[in-house]
Amino acid sequence: MSKTGPLDTAVSLDSYECTIAVECCVFGFQDNKLKILLVKRSIEPFKDHWMLPGGAMGEGKTLSESVNDVLHNLTGIKKLSLEQVASYSEVNRHPVKRVVSVSFYALVKPENYPVIPKNYISDIKWYSLDELPSLGFDHEKLVGDALEKLRDNLKEHLVFGELLPDRFTLTELQELYENILEEKFDRRNFRKKILQMNILEPTNEKKTGVKGGPVLYRKK
């Protein structure tokens, strides 16, 4: 018989030593590529391995708040909108102790955030999806799952968060889509589809320095 049982401290406490952690796949769009923020860990286990930023759930904090804390420490990001991806509970996913992780993803503008290695981190860097190093723990799976969820959300709800600046051209938006979904779209059809979703509005400005003088749009 397992120790699974009623959740009642008044009667019996069946839980055992197990850490709850949060991990976050921070996506950014830079140089026309989708990137992920990775940190290099300076302590064992997985010393000198790249991995997703994460850490133990904070006392008296929700999971989301804990993610925000972790990322604030690393990047100065104050409050970002998070999307929950999944939970990971394989018994040996952490070599030292039992850890159950809940993973999230966030969408940010890399240029907004200085990334500063500190605490248990020796390096921190934006990586393109196509040149990801091998990752510590089971974080490669976490990245795959986060990416899948991001793609699903992008296809259905057109949420691209803060991946683009406040004002952007439709071509820039299309390039973002093509990059993330790894799929090409016809320019006219893409514009048609996006505009009839009625979530963007044109500004009076045009983007300079680019031929054709495209109109800048912003979110409504």
Contact residues toward a second copy (CB under 8 A) are 2-11, 13-16, 18-21, 41, 43-45, 54-66, 69-70, 73, 84, 86-87, 89-91, 94, 96-97, 99-100, 102, 119-120
Separation between Cα atoms, residue 17 and residue 189, nearest integer Å: 55
* Residue carrying structure tokens 């991946």: 163
The interface with DNA within residues 187-216 (CB under 7 A) comprises: 187-189, 191-193, 206, 208-215
DSSP character at residue 16: -
Note whether 186 binds DNA by CB under 7 A. Answer: yes
Identify what 171 binds: a second copy, DNA, none; CB under 5 to 8 Å per kind. Answer: DNA
Alpha helix stretches (DSSP H) within 120-219: 139-157, 170-181, 187-196
Identity of the residue, 92 or 204, whose beta carbon is nearer to a second copy in the bound complex? 92
CB 179 within 8 A of CB 160: no
Task: State in angstroms the smallest separation of the CB of 219 from a second copy.
Answer: 25
- Determine phi and psi for 202, rounding to 5 degrees: -75, 145
Binding of DNA at residue 47 (CB under 7 A)? no
- Residue in the structure block whose two tokens are 């505009």: 195
What does 43 interact with, of a second copy, DNA, none (CB < 5 to 8 A by kind)? a second copy
Contact of residue 132 among a second copy, DNA, none (CB under 5-8 Å per partner type): none
Return the number of the residue (121 or 147) whose C-beta is nearest a second copy: 121
- Cα separation, 128 vs 215, in Å, equals 28
Element (H, E) at 88: strand 82-88
First and final CA of the chain: distance in angstroms? 56
Binding residues (CB under 7 A) for DNA: these are: 169-171, 186-189, 191-193, 206, 208-215
